Structure 1
Amino acid sequence: MKMKFLSLLVAFTSLLVVGCEYDNFEAPKSTLSGRVVYEGKAIGVRNNGPQLELWQDGYPLRSKINVYFDQDGTFSASLFDGTYKLVRMGDSPWLQQATDTIIVQVKGNTAVDVPVTPYFTVTNESFQKNNNNITANFTVNRIVGTANLGAVCLYLGKSILTDQVRQELLVDANLANVTFGQQTSIVGVLPDKLKNLDYVYARIGVKSTLSGEYYYTAVQKIALK
């Protein structure tokens, strides 16, 4: 009976020690932040769409840390100091690299740019309002010679988080009218739910047939009144 009591006491004491260890667990104090870039410029993406993975070797419970991009191509993660493997994931609007892993040494607040090669880019974008129409002018550039266009779209929305998933108006371009390196235009007619607003947000997205994610231009705020 005494042995049973002692066993229960030891087990209870162990639980208290483990509980105290969890209570004393320190949150990570360092920050890894950065951008996904092409030729030194951040790439626009879908908010919480494309992602990175972080791995840290040498620990019993080795598991990945998912890191998602904001729509302007920036990212941030709270971490402990140490050496991490940063992995560029597939199904993104950029070419899979020969090696998708970047070794990052995190110490305090650490910044790193993640270089990628997008299948396509969009440049020289501009948006004009004429009555209830928004005309987008832009140039699509093919960066990866073997890539084929899957879609080119104009997005209009109430929120700055406007993309393929979140928008009030999506207009697909006729791909037959898209010539690489030359100006392309898309006209969107404002629906009733947008036309009476003071402003809308607009951006262009382009997708390769090799990926489900779009390369996006920066979101622009268009005054309607």
Structure 2
Amino acid sequence: MKIKFHYTVILSLMLFSAACKLDNYAPPSVTLKGQLMYKGTPVNVEYNQVPFQLYQSGFKGNTPISGTFDQDGTYSVLTFNGNYKFTIPGGQGPFQWKELPSGGRDSIAINLTGDQTVNIEVTPYYMIRNAQLVASGGNITAQFSIEKVITDATAKNIQTVSLFVNKTQFTSTADQAAEVDLAGTLITDPTNVNLSVAIPKFTPTQNYVYARVGIRIAGVEDMIFSPVQKLTY
């Protein structure tokens, strides 16, 4: 079961701030931010579902700062200067994360001496390429291609591809007003996948929707998505 971390960063910062006031220390004021990337392309995920952890080096048994990536793969943490290790827990995300020879999770060393942007390079099982979404004739249609990135013995099959439509920019399995799915076994040409779904009716009415496509990977909890697009009709 997916554990949600939506409020963990906020709670951590509240505790940090309270402790600082009691000890007459300044509250956290250094911003670490970045984005999930694969060879220069953002990796889009489901909002509030893929967690990360930030450990401060040199403190044994210290509790990590935990948070989740936004749906465009971005993250942001308010903390202090210092040496940190950034990692993603096992079994999380629609991608592979480097493992240590010992079998543990690898981490990225980050030396914070002020605000810093650190993008997180991952290897997704699949990438959605050239997604073209159109609102026309009462329907939302999507045309896109699928790149299979991992092709070795750890490769995984596509369970389904889906088109999600919602009234707000939060668009995924958990946040959608319309959805259409296609089983992976029915994909005959990964370079030309097409989906279509009727535009849902909203109250109050609006002349736009948000949409994106996603891939559910067999044996993987998290989906990978195309960027959210606002479509006017």
Which band: TM-score by shorter chain? 0.7 to 0.9
Determine whether 1:111 maps to 2:130: no
Q: Is the 8 A contact 2:142 2:196 kept in 1?
A: yes
Q: CA deviation at 1:195?
A: 11
- Give the match's secondary structure for 1:173: strand
The match for 2:92 is: 91
The match for 2:14 is: none
- Give the match's secondary structure for 1:176: helix
Q: Please tell me whether Structure 1 or Structure 2 has the larger radius of gyration of its CA atoms.
A: 1
* Structure 1 consecutive aligned stretches of length 4 or more whose deviation exceeds 6 Å: none
Percent of residue pairs identical = 30
Q: Is the 8 A contact 2:28 2:78 kept in 1?
A: yes
Per-residue deviation, residues 19-51 of structure 1 (Å, max 9, x unmatched): 996162421111111111001121111111112
Q: Which has the higher helix share?
A: 1
Task: Supply the distance in 2 between the matched residues of 1:177 and 1:71 (Cα, whole angstroms).
Answer: 27
- Give the match's secondary structure for 1:212: coil
Task: Supply the distance in 2 between the matched residues of 1:191 and 1:81 (Cα, whole angstroms).
Answer: 48
Q: Is the 8 A contact 1:142 1:180 kept in 2?
A: no
Task: Supply the distance in 2 between the matched residues of 1:82 and 1:180 (Cα, whole angstroms).
Answer: 49
- Give the match's secondary structure for 2:169: coil
The match for 1:27 is: 27
Structure 2 gap ranges (5+): 1-18, 101-105
Task: Supply the distance in 2 between the matched residues of 1:51 and 1:167 (Cα, whole angstroms).
Answer: 22
Task: Supply the distance in 1 between the matched residues of 2:163 and 2:60 (Cα, whole angstroms).
Answer: 48
Q: CA deviation at 1:78?
A: 0.7
Structure 1 gap ranges (5+): 1-18
Determine whether 1:147 maps to 2:156: yes
Q: Is the 8 A contact 1:141 1:180 kept in 2?
A: no
TM-score with structure 2 setting the length: 0.81
The match for 1:130 is: 136
TM-score with structure 1 setting the length: 0.84
Summarize the Cα distance change of 1:20–1:94 in structure 2 as closer, same or farther, 3 Å threshold.
Answer: closer
